[in-house]
Amino acid sequence: MTEYNFAYLDEATKRMLRRAILKAVAIPGYQVPFSSREMPMPYGWGTGGVQVTAACLLPEDTLKVIDQGADDTTNAVSIRKFFARVAGVATTEATATASVIQTRHRIPETPLTEGQILVFQVPIPEPLRFLEPRETETRTMHALEDYGLMQVRLYEDIAKHGEIARAYAYPVRVEGRYIMDPSPIPKFDNPKLDNSPALQLFGAGRECRIYALPPYTRVESLDFDDYPFTASKAAGQVCAICGAEDSYLDEVITDDAGGRMFVCSDTDYCATRVAAQAEDAA
């Protein structure tokens, strides 16, 4: 490709992004403003994640893109093809062989390793957004660690539903300091954020914010002493394709007569298990 600079963005823009990323890594959980660019895709499709990925990519990188855990959904396919074209990097669907993984709504089931970068697409970076509408006030609250309001929200959940009903974008506390929105991943994935050997970067394009979790950062999900956090998923179900009991499952409606099946949301994890089972059988 000669029509584009490597990875679409020009070097000055990537430099700006990298400065924001470095600051975010230096202050885990803190939302760093950056001047988000127009990308050749609509807001809500992961423009923030794409910019962060573009700033991180090197020619020798191997890129994996997932959307809701799947490698073959529109969003994942489009972004993967985009970078294959404008950066010419190798792409893969295997979590273990990827060096940069851009994700929407999931963390892969296969444990990440040192040296890998996980880039999250974030729609709303501010965990206090729907509790306090004034952005000036939420920033002050972060600065002063004034987080009682978040606990009030969890209290309201228990009072109303008997448990903390939040199933995704479950707020976490980073290194005992900043409260962070982990992007809309299911709360099942929250424990994977904690002490992860991989670098985790969060990009919100429309909101112009980047935040990060450096490797081996302490990440705690908020809860009450008598209502502890639980990483829940579809109860008592196993994957209908690979039989996995430990992975996060999607419920798929198969007909209009109430037929349904539960399958792994992480397609790579599921396919790897099926292949291994076929090998064992052979």
Partner 1 sequence: MTPLLQVEGLSKFYGTHLGCGDVNFTLWPGEVMGIVGESGSGKSTLLNCLAGHMAPDTGRVIFDTRTDGPRDTVTMTEPERRWLARTDWAFVHQNPRDGLRMNVSAGGNVGDRLMAVGARHYGDIRREAGDWLERVEIDPTRIDDRPRAFSGGMQQRLQIARNLVTGPRLVFMDEPTGGLDVSVQARLLDLLRGLVRRLGLSAVIVTHDLAVVRLLADRLMVMKDGCVVEQGLTDQVLDDPQHAYTQLLVSSVLQV
Give the residue numbers annotated as catalytic, written as ranges.
29, 239, 242, 264, 270
Q: Distance between alpha carbon 4 and the CA centroid of its chain, in Å?
A: 28
Residue among 34, 3, 6 nearest 20 (CA):
34
Q: Which is nearer to partner 1, 144 or 281 (CB)?
A: 144
Q: Is 158 in the site for partner 1 (CB under 8 A)?
A: yes
Binding letters toward partner 1, positions 121-140, x by CB under 8 A: -------------------x
Q: Which stretch binds partner 1 (CB under 8 A): 53-61, 144-152, 244-252, 274-282?
A: 144-152
42: tokens are: 């609509």
- Cβ proximity of 83 and 48 under 8 Å: no
Spell out the residues 6+ positions from residue 106 whose beta carbon is closer than 8 angstroms to its own: 66, 68, 69, 185, 186, 189, 248, 265, 266
Size of the site for partner 1 (CB under 8 A): 17
Q: Does 165 bind partner 1 (CB under 8 A)?
A: no
Within residues 199-228, the interface with partner 1 by CB under 8 A covers 224-227
Among 13, 43, 90, 146, binds partner 1 (CB under 8 A): 146
- Identify the residue among 124, 149, 231, 238 touching partner 1 (CB under 8 A): 149
Nearer to partner 1, 20 or 219 (CB): 219
Q: Given candidates 144, 253, 281, 282, which one binds partner 1 under the rule CB under 8 A?
A: 144
Instruction: Give 1 or 143: the residue with its C-beta nearer to partner 1.
Output: 143
Length of the chain: 282
Assess contact for 121 and 103: CB atoms under 8 A.
yes
Report how far residue 229's alpha carbon sits from residue 237's, in angstroms, rounded to the nearest whole number. Answer: 20
Taking Cα atoms as reference points, which of 53, 31, 164, 169 lies closest to residue 105? 169
Contact set with partner 1 (CB under 8 A): 140, 144-146, 148-149, 151-152, 155-156, 158-160, 224-227
